[in-house]
C-alpha cells in the first residue's frame, strides 16, 4: 500500500484565495482525520470522519473551513477565503476502527503558505 496520499505537498497562495487540500486514505481504513500543525499550537485535530460521515468537526476553526468525504477513498479540506494565519502544515491520517483503538497512519502533509 502506498500509504496515505496527500496533495499538493506545497501550496503558496494569496490572502482571499480558495485552497483545496486532498487526501486518499489507506484502502480498507474507515476513519479519516484532518490535523493542522503549527509551531505555536502543535498538532490540532480539525475534523474526523467515520465511514465517510463527519463525526466531529468541533476543531474546525471557523466557517471558512469545510471538509468533505464523498467516498471511502477521497477527502478534501477547503479553506475559503484563506488568511495568513491559516499558514500551517495540514495532515491527513487514517485508521481502521478509530484513532484510539488502532495505529494512526499519517500522510506526508500539505504545507500551506498564505501571503
Binding site for other proteins (CB under 8 A): 4, 31, 33, 42-43, 45, 48, 50, 55-56, 91, 93, 98-109, 111
44 Cβ contact partners less than 8 Å away, ≥ 6 residues apart: 35, 36, 37, 38, 59
Toward other proteins, which CB reaches closer, 12 or 55?
55
79-96 burial by CB neighbour count: b if 16+ within 10 A, else e? beebeeebbbbbbbbbbe
Toward other proteins, which CB reaches closer, 81 or 99?
99
Tell me if residue 59 falls in helix, strand or coil. Answer: coil
CB 27 → other proteins: shortest distance, Å?
A: 18
Toward other proteins, which CB reaches closer, 44 or 83?
44
CB 48 → other proteins: shortest distance, Å?
A: 5
CB 54 → other proteins: shortest distance, Å?
A: 11
Give me 12's grid cell. Answer: 503558496
Amino acid at each position: 500500500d502506498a500509504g496515505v496520499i496527500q496533495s499538493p505537498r506545497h501550496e503558496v497562495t494569496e490572502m482571499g484565495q480558495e485552497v483545496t487540500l486532498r487526501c486518499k486514505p489507506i484502502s480498507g481504513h474507515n476513519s479519516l482525520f484532518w490535523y493542522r500543525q503549527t509551531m505555536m499550537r502543535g498538532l490540532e485535530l480539525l475534523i474526523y470522519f467515520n465511514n465517510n460521515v463527519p463525526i466531529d468537526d468541533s476543531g474546525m476553526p471557523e466557517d471558512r473551513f469545510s471538509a468533505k468525504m464523498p467516498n471511502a477513498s477521497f477527502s478534501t479540506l477547503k479553506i475559503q477565503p484563506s488568511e495568513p494565519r491559516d499558514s500551517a502544515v495540514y495532515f491527513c491520517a487514517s485508521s481502521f476502527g478509530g484513532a484510539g483503538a488502532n495505529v494512526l497512519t499519517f500522510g506526508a502533509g500539505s504545507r500551506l503558505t498564505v501571503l
